[in-house]
Chain A
Amino acid sequence: MQEPVTVDRETANRELLDFVFAWPKWFFATTGLLGAVITLGLIIFLLLMIFGLQLFGYAHPVYWGFPVVNFVFWIGVSHAGIMVSAILRLAQAEWRRPVTRAAEVLTIFSLMTAMTFPIIHSGRPWRTLYWEFPYDWMRGIWPNPRSPLVWDPAAIFTYLTSTVMFVYIALLPDLALARDRVKNPIGKAVYGVLSLGFRGTTRQWRIQAIAGILLSALILPIFVSVHSIVSWDFAVTIIPGWHNTVFAPYFVIGAVHSGVSAVVTVMIVMRYAFGLKNFITKDHIDSLARLLIIVATVWLFFFMLDFMFGLYGTEPAEVDTWQRRLMEPPWTAIAIIFIITGYIIPVGLWLFRRVRRNFFLMFVTTVLVNIGMWLERYMIVIPGLERKSNLTFQYGDYLPSAAEFGIIAAQLALVIAGFLVFSKLLPIMPAADIKEGQILRDEIKVGRARVPATMREA
């Protein structure tokens, strides 16, 4: 069904490393613009340090807002990395090859961005790191292991570490390739050190392959744990709308939904920006879209479970929260937009092969998914806080402030800029992996029959 990439190895090497060695003008323009937005975010952060959280829209009793929504959102996006590279690798899905590194790099930068949110939104950011980590052995002062906010850094740092290792191991052959091809002596030295003396001997390849497979398997528990733990930030409390046992799998599948969609968006942008028409083909986007149909439908099922369990418990506060989410303005509008953009439009369109193989439509629908998923997180976090209990005197609405929008723009810019700079300095396309995929498809003639030239070991 899938037409193989028909590029000879020399062209593949050249085209895949093209962007690393070239300096197109738009790169400077884009990074400059992103840098300006990030600077704006830094200024807001500085103002926050000086003036405190009065700049944000928090007010009694809603003490979490956009930053937490975004934290959940970016952690969700980061789930694409494991889904695409580990799970699809173990499932031996061949079409994953060009997608893997982009997904992992997106994971790294969205995780790093997500990690800034808890620091930005805490009342005393300069103390957060100081207290959150149990470094102070002498005084016997420890973090509270019962708090999900202590589980969070543990899960996220584990995820970040393993993803960085995963990316680095897969990167070694490509770094060696870059080392061999770069003209610039400084680049040669840097790539030389980074490639750890990778020369492509059989032993090195074997170790590299085993490490990759082992890491894929070891990383799987993290796939389940990270967003489960993020969901427990909410689920372990007794806030209506948060206090729900289905949250962990619901969040995980939602994360895969938004993460894989983000990968599709990024792949399509890369295809045009980096000139990768030979490597990111309609087949890849088609396969991802078919994966997304299943993921999105499972996610919708969990959303309905969340709703069903909310009503089934017949707990007044919980039922009220659902009524508010679905029936009361402005939440009705948000709920409608989220379900339409998060599920109905994208999945409805992805059912058609023509849409799945249309880059523009896929770009639009996957961006829509992430808008919907962001709104979904907003709908999860805020309404329960606004109507926490039957003490009606403590009802209050949340209105985000300009500073929060600025921070969010800066964080989006941070993820894009991180991705862009990575792809400028290091090969974003897994050249070795793509070539391996081609070799696996090579065929030789034995008599009249055409048989695969290589055999996959077990």
Chain B
Amino acid sequence: MASATDTAELPVVAAAATLPTDDPHPETDGHRWGMVIDADKCTGCQACVVACQSENNLALNEENRVIERRAKTWIRIERYWEGEWPNAKARFLPVLCQHCGNAPCETVCPVWATYHNPDGLNVQVYNRCIGTRFCANACPYSVRYFNFWEPEWPSPMDRQLNPDVTVRTKGIVEKCTFCIHRINRTKRQADRDGRPVADGEVEPACVQACPTTALVFGDLNDSDSKVSELSHSKRAYSLLDSLGTAPAITYLKKVDPSHVGEEEAGH
């Protein structure tokens, strides 16, 4: 169980003792955006990847860029084998920025180009980034990508750029934003209407595109939200939990009793 997501329900006495994985950034805005990824539901169809590419103005990952390992995919599907042949099962793990409460990337940036915003998001200020790539090194999930080139799109794909998202120049690091432009748009709209943001009103592109609803997005501070409820599931775990990064993303996976103890280091 990911303790970061527990804090909302901890009794007062327990909350006073700070757990190492507690979110060290008390949010001022009332939101703490988080995601639940159901690995049991994920079919590895890559719809989220495509949706993210086009939503966030990511340049095309041509073949040789993938071979060079310089392709950028803010969300990616990792495929792992579970069990031994012939009873092997393919397991798909969508990995994106975990928006850690204790983000290893934030402390190492010399210029505050990445920091924790009041919504609990780990944000990247492109304009400040000088490209030390220290954050990309420090990230244990390897979800920070460096821009080796000026992004280019062959015509007519350059016409489909999302006007809400900055096109990033070469020489800086970028990563998943939880579609912060969508979050902000929804928040502004809710402000204008004089109502709180409803659960499920904000959907990042990957969540919207997921055909099996394996991805769920919402406010972890809202104890009634679907994401809060799911993150307390018995199947819940955090990726690389032992590092104490307090991710905002909870993964769900049923542990097959026959495989318990087989791969301790898997998560």
Contacts and interface: CB of A to CB of B under 8 A. Distances in A.
A307 to B, nearest CB: 21
Interface in B192-250: 239-240, 243
A148 interface: yes
A53 B131 CA distance: 10
Contact of A150 (B78, B110, B148, B240): B110
Interface in B116-140: 128-134, 136-138, 140
A148 B111 CA distance: 11
Interface string B69-80: 111000010111
Given A52-B148, A131-B130, A237-B104, A144 B137 contact: no
B70 A123 contact: no
Interface string A355-366: 000000000000
A392 B172 CA distance: 25
Given A238-B140, A393-B79, A124 B172 contact: yes
Nearest to B150: A52
B253 to A, nearest CB: 15
Given A60-B70, A123-B147, A147 B134 contact: yes
Contact of A59 (B68, B78, B131, B240): B68
Contact of A123 (B108, B130, B240): B130
Contacts of B128: 131
A58 B141 CA distance: 17
Interface stretch (A33-41, A208-216, A246-254, A382-390): A382-390
A390 B109 contact: no
Nearest to B149: A54
Interface string A369-393: 0000000000000000100111111
Interface residues on B, range: 35 or more
B189 interface: no
A106 B239 CA distance: 47
A60 B69 contact: yes
B166 interface: no
Contacts of B71: 60
Nearest to B266: A390
Given A53-B146, A238-B243, A389 B141 contact: yes
Contacts of B110: 131-132, 143-144, 147, 149-150
A62 B243 CA distance: 20
Interface residues on A, range: 35 or more
Most buried by B among A131, A132, A146, A391: A391
Contacts of A123: 129-133, 146-147, 170-173
Interface string A391-428: 11110100000000000000000000000000000000
Give the secondary structure class of A's interface: loop
Most buried by A among B95, B110, B128, B265: B110
B44 to A, nearest CB: 12
A291 to B, nearest CB: 35
A128 to B, nearest CB: 5
A316 interface: yes
A63 interface: yes
A150 B112 CA distance: 11
Contact of A143 (B79, B107, B112, B146): B112
Contacts of A448: none
Given A53-B171, A123-B147, A127-B130, A385 B140 contact: no
Contacts of B162: none
Query: Which 6 residue pairs spanning A and B have beta carbons closest together?
Result: A123-B131, A123-B171, A63-B133, A149-B110, A394-B142, A59-B69
8 contacts: A60-B145, A132-B130, A147-B110, A389-B142, A389-B243, A390-B266, A393-B80, A394-B78
Given A143-B112, A316-B265, A391-B239, 7 more contacts: A61-B142, A63-B133, A122-B171, A124-B131, A393-B76, A393-B80, A393-B95
